[in-house]
Amino acid sequence: MMPFVRSDLAQLTAYKPHPSSDTVRPVSSTQLDRLDTNESPYDLPPELKAKLAWTYQQAIETNRYPDGGHEELKGAIAEYINESASLGTSVFTTANISVGNGSDELIRSILIASCLGEGSILVANPTFSMYAILAQVLRIPVVQVTRNEANFEIDLTAAQIAIEQTQNPPIRAVFVVHPNSPTANTLTKAELAWLKTLPEHILVVIDEAYFEFSQTTLVGELSERPNWVILRTFSKAFRLAAMRVGYCIAHPELISIIEKVRLPYNLPSFSIVSALVALQNRKLLLDSISQTLSERDRLIETLSQQPELQVWDSATNFVFLRLKPHHSHPQDAALKNLNQKLKANGTLIREISGGLRITVGTPQENIRTLTRLQAALASLASEQLTQ
C-alpha cells in the first residue's frame, strides 16, 4: 500500500495505550475504576492545582519555547534523590540527571545511544513491554529470557548464556525493573550480584518507576558503576501521569550522551512547572503512600483467601495474580472472562502475562474490586460447572 514505509513496521503492532480513549467513558452512568495503569488514584490536591493554574495564567508565556536545559528541574530532582537515598546533599548534581517526556522517552534515548545499529538488548519476561516495543521500532534485536514461575526471579543461567553467546549484534544493554512490572517483585540478591558481574561495555538499565512505593533503590551503586543508569518517573507516586515527566540518573559522561540524542524542547513548560511544584510539595503528595501500601496488603490478604487464585507479594502499588491450574478450562479464556466481567461492572484491570495486574486504588475502589472479582470468580465457576 505505502511502498515508502519500512517493511517491518507494517508487521509491528502499535502499543495500545491504557486506558484508550474509548475506555474512559462512564459505564452505565457510574465512573469507571481505572486500575489498569498503576497510577496514583489521587489527583493533585486542589491547592496545588490552583497554584499551577495561577502559574499557567501569570508566569508561562505560551508563545515562548520552554526551558530546554531543565537546570532548575534537574537541581530539584538531584536534591530529592540525595534526600530520599539519605546521601550527602551534593552526591548527585544536575550533571547526573537527564529528564524526558515520561520515562518512555528516556528508554528510547537510551536505546538510540547504546544499541541502535550496533547492539541487542536483553529482557526477562514478563516485564515492562515498552523496552521490547521501542527496540523493535528502532530495529534493535531483543533477546528474551524467562523467569522462575514461583518467584519471578530471572533465569540467570539463561541470561548469562545469552550475554556470552549472542552475536551479530551482541547484547549491549540489559533492562530490569526494580520492582518488576507486572510481577511486583524487587531484584533478588542473586540478580543484583549477577548485574554487578556484567562488564563495563554492557549498559545496565534499572527502572525504578515504583521507587516511592518500594523504598528500595540502587542509586547508591551509581558512583562505582559508570555503565548503570536508573530510570524514575513522576507518573506514579507523584500523581503526574498526565504531565509526562521522567528522569534518569547516571554518570555525567553517560548523561551527556543521552542529552545529545534528546529533542531540544522535549518537556512542555507546564510539565516542567508541575514537576517542580510536585517536588516542592513532596511531603504532602507522598503522604498517601502508607495508605496505598496498607490497602495493598489488605487486597493481597483477601484475594489470597480465594482458593482459585495464586496471589504474589508486592513491593509496589499493584498486585499480580494468576488462576491456579484448572484442567477443564483454558487459563487464557478464564482470565479474559474475568477481565471482561470486571470491566462490565466498572473496574478496569490489566490482563497480562498469563495473569491479572490490579492497581491499588482508593479504599472504596478496592472494596469494589474485591466484590466484583469475587462475583466474577463465582460466576466463572458456575459457567464451568454447566459446560
Ligand X SMILES: Cc1ncc(COP(=O)(O)O)c(C=O)c1O
The residues facing 294 across adjacent strands are none
Radius of gyration (C-alpha) of the chain in whole angstroms: 22
Name the minimum Å distance from CB 110 to ligand X. Answer: 12
Applying the rule CB under 6 A, the residues between 241 and 270 that interact with ligand X are 241, 246
Stretch in the footprint of ligand X (CB under 6 A) among 62-70, 102-110, 250-258, 358-366: 102-110
* Cα three-residue angle 185-275-43, rounded to 5 degrees: 70
- Least Cα distance to 98 among 113, 116, 119 occurs for 113
Of 316, 289, 300, 311, which is closest to residue 370 (Cα–Cα)? 300
Smallest distance, Å, CB 317 to ligand X? 10
What span, in angstroms and rounded, lies between the C-alpha atoms of 77 and 213? 17
What phi-psi label fits residue 55: left (phi over 0), alpha (psi between -120 and 50 degrees) or beta?
alpha
Q: Give the span between the Cα atoms of 387 and 383, in whole angstroms.
A: 6
Q: Which is nearer to ligand X, 123 or 177 (CB)?
A: 177
Task: Kindly give, in sequence order, each residue whose CB lies less than 8 Å from that of residue 378, ignoring residues fewer than 6 positions away.
Answer: none
Which one of 49-57, 97-105, 193-201, 216-224 is the stretch in contact with ligand X (CB under 6 A)? Answer: 97-105
Minimum distance from residue 13 beta carbon to ligand X (Å): 18
Name the one range near ligand X by CB under 6 A: 73-81, 101-109, 282-290, 304-312: 101-109
Provide CB contacts within 8 A for 72, sequence distance 6+: 272, 276
- Pick the binder of ligand X from 104, 153, 191, 295 (CB under 6 A): 104
Three-state DSSP at 80 gives helix
* Of positions 92, 128, 194, 228, contacts ligand X by CB under 6 A: 128
Q: Which is nearer to ligand X, 102 or 119 (CB)?
A: 102
**Least CB distance from residue 9 to ligand X, whole Å?**
22
Q: Which of residues 176-235 bind ligand X (CB under 6 A)?
A: 177, 181, 207, 209, 233, 235
66 binds ligand X (CB under 6 A): no
* For helices 46-58 and 269-280, angle between their N-to-C axes, nearest 10 degrees: 140
Considering beta carbons, is residue 271 or 345 the nearer one to ligand X?
A: 271
Write down the least CB distance from residue 177 to ligand X, Å: 4
Q: Shortest distance, CB of residue 180 to ligand X, whole angstroms?
A: 8
Q: Which of 32, 33, 36, 38 binds ligand X (CB under 6 A)?
A: 38
102 vs 170, which CB is nearer to ligand X?
A: 102
What residue is closest to ligand X based on CB? 102
Task: In angstroms, give the least distance from the CB of 89 to ligand X.
Answer: 26
The three cell numbers locating residue 151: 518467584
Closer CB to ligand X, residue 181 or residue 292? 181
Q: Are strands 228-233 and 203-207 parallel, antiparallel or unpaired?
A: parallel
Residue 342 CB contacts under 8 Å (≥ 6 apart), including other chains? 348, 349, 369, 372, 373, 376
Cell numbers given for 140: 534493535
Among 103, 120, 269, 353, binds ligand X (CB under 6 A): 103
Strand 347-348 relative to strand 33-34: parallel, antiparallel, unpaired? parallel
238 sits near ligand X (criterion: CB under 6 A): no
Residues found near ligand X in the complex (CB under 6 A): 38, 102-104, 128, 177, 181, 207, 209, 233, 235, 241, 246
